Chain A
Amino acid sequence: MRLAGRFGGAALSLLMVAVLGFFLFRVVPGDPVVSMTRGRPTTAAMQAELRAQFGLDRPLHEQFWSYFTSLLHGDLGTSFTFRRPVSEVIGERLGPTLLLVGTATLIAVLLGLWLGVRAAWRRDSVFDRVTTGVSLTLWAVPTFWLGMLLMMVTGDLFPSRGMRDTDTAPDFVSQALDVGHHLVLPSVTLVAVVCAEYALVMRSSLLEEMHAPYLTTARAKGLRDDLVRRRHAVPNAVLPAITLVFLRFGLVVAGAITTETVFSWPGLGLLFYDALTGPDYFLLQGLLVVTAGAVVVMNLLADLLHGVLDPRVKVV
């Protein structure tokens, strides 16, 4: 029953994402064509033609219905600047973003959880103070600024634009090395910001467990400190932390937008930037629906995963 509720809730959220996308980009702007052609020489006749082409001359409820039914078929409309289906444009950019976000999240989760555990276990030690201080400072650092700084400090050591050079040999190994080389600065930037958050989350999660009676029992059994931590405290504290990691997936999405913009990494984040400078409302609408939908799905996964990992939480 609860499982059905979770899926129902996620389905409702996805529906709300679709409505929000329509509301933001078709209702709020009034006439999208006027906004999108601003600064370009267009006649009233051309605008009327564009309106007809994108179906903006029909009543709002009809527009919503056609938008919604195409969405269900995986059709996100046509991009204004690319003049191609939005889903196609987004699909092309998915790979680079998954590579960057995947690498950064993996490193950030491992590093962040490790730092958080160490800091909480020796609370108020030098290690704890340094970790907490650095994490709080990194939390205050704008992602894009950190990226620009890294770029300036490292100089020519790492490439700072794009994902690969044009003159790299076409074989797989050189290509992979080239992409890896380009990946260094963007992923370090993203890791630094996200990892700080994870470390703080893990730290407070373990601190909650620190005075639990079962730890006293474990110690009374004569277990070494290190075993008490690894076998007893951490497995219990890591569950809420992992759930929070999934829940803060939106943070990674936001970080990816600015990081990709700074480093011209050809993924969804850079596409977001291109779409908003256009502005290309149809593309932005597609991007919003896709990213928000992904976040909703990640949350559902977090819920389900928590139920699997922690038998105390019964999902099924």
Chain B
Amino acid sequence: MSRFDRTGLAGAGVLAVAALVALVAPLLIDAEALDVTRVTAGAWQAPGAGHWLGTDHTGRSVALLLAQGTGTSLFVGLTAAILSVGIGTLVGIVSGHFGGLLAGALLRVTDFFLVLPALVLAIALSTVLPRGLGTIVLAIGLTSWPSTARMVRAQTLTIEARPFVERARALGGGHGHVIARHVVPSVVPLVLVNATLAVASAIVAESTLAFLGLGDPTRISWGAMLHQAQLHGAVPQQAWWYLLPPGLAIVVVVLAFTLVGRALEAVVTPKR
């Protein structure tokens, strides 16, 4: 097994655990335990008996918050990545397959959004749209597609220059046939790799938006926990148990997606 396989498998293992936590946590956690008005424990308790990751500024268990937040972070990461890679693939194939004015315009727009800082645009979008999960997904998905579009376009151009596509055209294959039978199958592996890496950056983006207070106020996510920690002074309180777990969770899951993505990349492009 190569190094990529091993790290990729480790990443996949971490993701399986995270997915399990995300699915099981809402079923096992009592809503009252996360209700600020119902908690009985004291605020800012260090880890110990009863609360093995301590409590936050309202006395809620950090461990429970962490488990509950897994679902939100993963959900936003996955859906935003699907949206972003979906737009990117569509734009890439269309601008690669059809030449002319349309392709030129699409390429121009892609390049424009490629250089703009995605986070700044995502902040702008989530400020003007109503707060909610859908807004975050839209804000991240609509601003992070250009790199996928570039890659898919390049792959489309490469594949369409090959003799078998010329043959298909000569035999009377139309646009639909060439795209569905030749272009799409050749971009799928690339798109999968891209999607995995896109989830990683979407999770970081979600945590950043939530940290800036642009998240869904009704939901717990890792970024939202860090927002609360900053707001209520976890740093001056030296409440490391409130600061470390959500941040580490983000790092571990994002790293896991990155490692799986790189392992897939090594499979898809075997030259390196």
* Tier of interface size on chain A: 35 or more
Q: Once the chains are docked, how many angstroms separate the CA of A151 from the CA of B211? A: 16
Counting CB contacts under 8 A, is A78 at the interface?
no
Name A141's closest neighbour in chain B (CB-CB).
B251
Counting CB contacts under 8 A, is B164 at the interface?
no
A17 contacts which chain B residues (CB < 8 A)? Answer: 116
A16 contacts which chain B residues (CB < 8 A)? Answer: 112
Q: Is there contact, CB below 8 Å, between A140 and B258?
A: yes
Q: 3 smallest A-B Cβ distances: which pairs? A: A250-B117, A254-B119, A140-B254
Q: Is there contact, CB below 8 Å, between A145 and B247?
A: yes
In the complex with contacts A28-B129, A152-B243, A292-B116, A142-B250 CB distance below 8 A: yes
In the complex with contacts A137-B255, A284-B127, A277-B213 CB distance below 8 A: yes
In the complex with contacts A136-B258, A149-B247, A257-B116 CB distance below 8 A: no
In the complex with contacts A28-B128, A250-B117, A258-B208, A145-B250 CB distance below 8 A: yes
Q: Is there contact, CB below 8 Å, between A295 and B207?
A: no
Counting CB contacts under 8 A, is A247 at the interface?
yes
A115 contacts which chain B residues (CB < 8 A)? Answer: none
- A24: contacting residue among B128, B212, B255, CB under 8 A: B128
Counting CB contacts under 8 A, is B158 at the interface?
no
Q: Is the interface of B mostly helix, strand, loop or mixed?
A: helix
User: B92 to nearest A CB, angstroms?
Assistant: 19
Counting CB contacts under 8 A, is B223 at the interface?
yes
Q: Is there contact, CB below 8 Å, between A139 and B117?
A: no
Interface size on B, residues (CB 8 A): 42
Q: Once the chains are docked, how many angstroms separate the CA of A262 from the CA of B208? A: 11
Interface residues of A in 112-139 (CB under 8 A from B): 136-137, 139
Interface string of A274-316 (1 = CB under 8 A from B): 0011010100100010011001100100000000000000000
User: A50 to nearest B CB, angstroms?
Assistant: 17
Q: Is there contact, CB below 8 Å, between B250 and A261?
A: no
Q: Once the chains are docked, how many angstroms separate the CA of A250 from the CA of B212? A: 18
Counting CB contacts under 8 A, is B214 at the interface?
yes
Q: Is there contact, CB below 8 Å, between B208 and A139?
A: no
Counting CB contacts under 8 A, is B115 at the interface?
yes
User: A80 to nearest B CB, angstroms?
Assistant: 13
B226 contacts which chain A residues (CB < 8 A)? Answer: 142, 144-145, 148
- B230: contacting residue among A137, A148, A250, CB under 8 A: A148
Q: Once the chains are docked, how many angstroms separate the CA of A152 from the CA of B127? A: 30
Name A291's closest neighbour in chain B (CB-CB).
B120
